[in-house]
Structure 1
Amino acid sequence: MADPQWDDLRIFLAVAREESLSGAGRILRLDPATIGRRIARLEAAVEMPLFVKSPQGYRLSAAGEQLLRHGESAERALRMGVESLTGTSSGRLTGQIRLGAPDGCANYLLPKICAGIAREHPDLDIHIVALPRVINLSRREADMAITVSAPTAGQLLVQKITDYHLHLVAARSYLREQAPFATVADLKGHPVIGYIPDMIFDSELDYLAELNVARVPLASNSVPVQLNLVAEGSGLCVAHDFALPFHKGLRKVLEDEISMTRSFYLVRHQGDQKSDRLNRFSALLLDGMRSEVTRLESLT
C-alpha cells in the first residue's frame, strides 16, 4: 500500500462534503478531471473504493466514511497547529472565520457586531454567509452558524445565544387608511406578507401558522424584502423587534395580542471547541449579539 499524500486527502474531504467532482472543483479551484484523477490515486493508495459513484453524485463508501472521520481530525489538528503559531503574541485574532446566519440576523445584527470585532482584530477576515436555509457545517459551508432552533443530530456544540421578540407590523401609511385594529379578528381581509410557504426551512419561522393565515399573497424568503413590501403599504407582516429601528415607517399592530418569542443558537463543530481562536471569536460574538438585541429592542 502506497502512502497517501496530504493534498489528496484535502481533495477527498472536498468531494465528500460537496458530493460531486464539480462541486469540489469550485471549492478548490481545480477542474473536475484533475479532481477525479486525484481521487483515483488516493483509492489506489488505500487499495479500496472510497466513493459509490452514481448519476446523483459521489456517496461515501464504508471505507470512505472511516477515512472522513480521520481526515477531519487531521484537518482540525493542522488548523489548530497553525493557530497556535499565529496571533498569540499580540492577543489578536487572525486568519479567516466564516459565519453562517439567517438573513434577518445577518442584515440587522451582524454588521455592527462583526465590524466591531474586525476593528479590534484587523488581521481577522470575517465572512458572513447569509442564506435562507440551514447552513451545512458538515460540508464546511461555515466554521459556525447561528440558527433559530437547536439541532439535535450530529457531533455539534450548541450554545443558546439569546431570546428575541417579534410583533405584527404595518406601515403608518397603511394604518391611516384602515379602521383601527381592536382584536385579532379585525385582521380578516387584510393581506399578510410572510415567507414563501414551501421555502420555510425551520418550523420556528412559520409565524403565520400561529395566526391561522392560509394565504400569503406577497411572500419572500428574505426578511428585508418582506419589510420593504410592508413599507410600501402592501399589508402586514410579523417582524423582528430588532429590525424595526431600521424601518422607521413601520409600527406594531395589536402589540399585546400578537407577541412571539424565538431564540438564536450558536452551532459549531464539536471538535472545534479545542480551538482557542474560535472560542475567543464565539465569546465576542455571543456578547455582541446579546448586547445588540437588547439595544435595538429597547428602541422599539
Structure 2
Amino acid sequence: MTPNWDDMRIFLAVAREESLSSAGRILKIDPATVGRRIARLEASLDTTLFTKSQQGYVLTASGERLLDHGLHAEEAMRAAAGAVAGSAKSLSGQIRIGAPDGSANYLLPQVCAKISDANPDLDIQILALPRIINLSRREADMAVTVSAPTAGKLLIKKISDYRLHLVAAQDYLDRHVPVRSVEELKGHRLIGYIPDMIFDRELDYLSDIGIDRVVLASNSVSVQLRQVSLGTGVCVAHDFTLPFHPTLRKILTDQVSLTRSFYLVRHQGDQRNERLNRFAGALMQGIREEIARLEAEADA
C-alpha cells in the first residue's frame, strides 16, 4: 500500500517531534489517534517505522528511508501551495523562522512586525534556539545563522555584516579603575557563553581576544546582557543590542572591534516557492535596515 499525504503528514510530525503528544499538538490531533495512525501505516507497509526509547520515538532504518521520501513529498506539496499563495497580493499561511537568540530577540520582532503589518493573513513564528536549527527535519521554514553551512542541500544568502564591541554598565565603570587594554580585562569579571555550549565558532568572541576564563556564563545573549546591565562585569555585545540597554557603554573600541555576518538558510527544494521567496526577500531587507538603524543609534 502506498501511503497517502495525510499518512505522510502524521509520520513526518512524529519523526520530527519524536513524541506522539508533541506531534498531536502540532497537528491538532489526539495523541492516541496519532499512535493508531502510525500503527496502521506500519501495518500497511509491513515494517516498523519507530522504536520507543527513553528519548521518545526514534526512527528505524525503514523509517529513515521513508523519511527521505516524505520530505520530497512535503517539498512538492509546499511548492504547489507556494506557487498558488505567492501569486496573491499579500502573503498568508504560516512561516517559521529559526534564529539564534541575539537576532531573535533584538532584530526579528521589529522586522516581523512590519512584515505582518503588510500581510495581515500571514502567521509568523520565531523559533529562538541556542543551537543550529535542523532544517532537514523542518524545524523551521528558514533560519538566520551566524555562519554559512557547508553541508546539506541548502539555499544560502548572506544578509548583512554586524559589529560587536566590549561593553560594561556605566556604574560598573564608575566603580572600577579604567580599562585601558585587553590585558587589563583579566582583572575584571568577564561574562560570555558557556564554553562547551558554543554551537558555532563565530560566537567564540572572548577566545578571539585572548580571554580564556568566563566567570559568569550563559548560552543566551539576553541573559549575558542582563547580567552586564546589572553592573556585574564586562561582555562582548552586538552593537544592534545597545539601544535596548542604554546604561551600557562601549570600551576599548580602538583595540577590540569584531565583525560577524548573518546568513539566511533555506531548503533547496523551496527555491521555486514564490511565497517563501517573497517572504525571504522582505526578511533580509528588513534585517539589513534594522541593523543599520540600530548600529547608527548605538554610535550616536
CA distance in 2, matches of 1:20, 1:95: 25
Shift of 1:124: 0.9
Shift of 1:195: 1.5
Would the alpha carbon gap of residues 87 and 207 (structure 1) be closer, same or farther in structure 2, given more than 3 Å must change?
closer
CA distance in 1, matches of 2:25, 2:243: 39
Would the alpha carbon gap of residues 241 and 7 (structure 1) be closer, same or farther in structure 2, given more than 3 Å must change?
same
3-state secondary structure, aligned to 2:144: strand
Shift of 1:255: 0.4
Q: Is the Cα contact below 8 Å between 2:86 and 2:273 reproduced in 1?
A: no
1:94 equivalent to 2:92? Answer: yes
1:40 equivalent to 2:39? Answer: yes
* Corresponding residue of 1:17: 16
> Could you give the per-residue CA deviations for residues 77-130 of structure 1, whole angstroms, max 9, x where no partner exists?
2233333444634x1111111111111111111122111111111111111111
3-state secondary structure, aligned to 2:164: strand
3-state secondary structure, aligned to 2:95: strand
Q: TM-score, normalised by structure 2?
A: 0.91
Would the alpha carbon gap of residues 63 and 188 (structure 1) be closer, same or farther in structure 2, given more than 3 Å must change?
closer
Q: Is the Cα contact below 8 Å between 1:17 and 1:138 reproduced in 2?
A: no
CA distance in 2, matches of 1:228, 1:4: 50
Q: Is the Cα contact below 8 Å between 1:18 and 1:139 reproduced in 2?
A: no
Question: Which piece of structure 1 moves more, 29-38 or 131-140?
Answer: 29-38
Q: Is the Cα contact below 8 Å between 2:50 and 2:63 reproduced in 1?
A: yes
Q: Percent identity?
A: 65
Question: What stretches of structure 1 of length at least 5 have no aligned partner?
Answer: none
* Corresponding residue of 1:153: 151
Question: Which piece of structure 1 moves more, 41-50 or 157-166?
Answer: 41-50
Q: Is the Cα contact below 8 Å between 1:156 and 1:267 reproduced in 2?
A: yes
Shift of 1:254: 0.6
1:166 equivalent to 2:171? Answer: no
Question: Which piece of structure 1 moves more, 244-253 or 203-212?
Answer: 203-212
Match among 196, 199, 207 for residue 198 of structure 1? 196
Map 1:1-300 to 2 at 5 A: 2-52=1-51, 54-86=53-85, 88-89=87-88, 91-299=89-297, 300=299
1:184 alignment partner AA: V
Shift of 1:32: 4.3
CA distance in 1, matches of 2:268, 2:257: 34
3-state secondary structure, aligned to 1:138: coil
Count of residue correspondences: 298
CA distance in 2, matches of 1:83, 1:165: 35
Question: What stretches of structure 2 of length at least 5 have no aligned partner?
Answer: none
CA distance in 2, matches of 1:106, 1:282: 15
> Could you give the per-residue CA deviations for residues 235-257 of structure 1, whole angstroms, max 9, x where no partner exists?
11000011112111111111011
Would the alpha carbon gap of residues 190 and 13 (structure 1) be closer, same or farther in structure 2, given more than 3 Å must change?
same
Shift of 1:53: 5.0
Q: CA RMSD in A?
A: 2.0
CA distance in 2, matches of 1:106, 1:31: 31
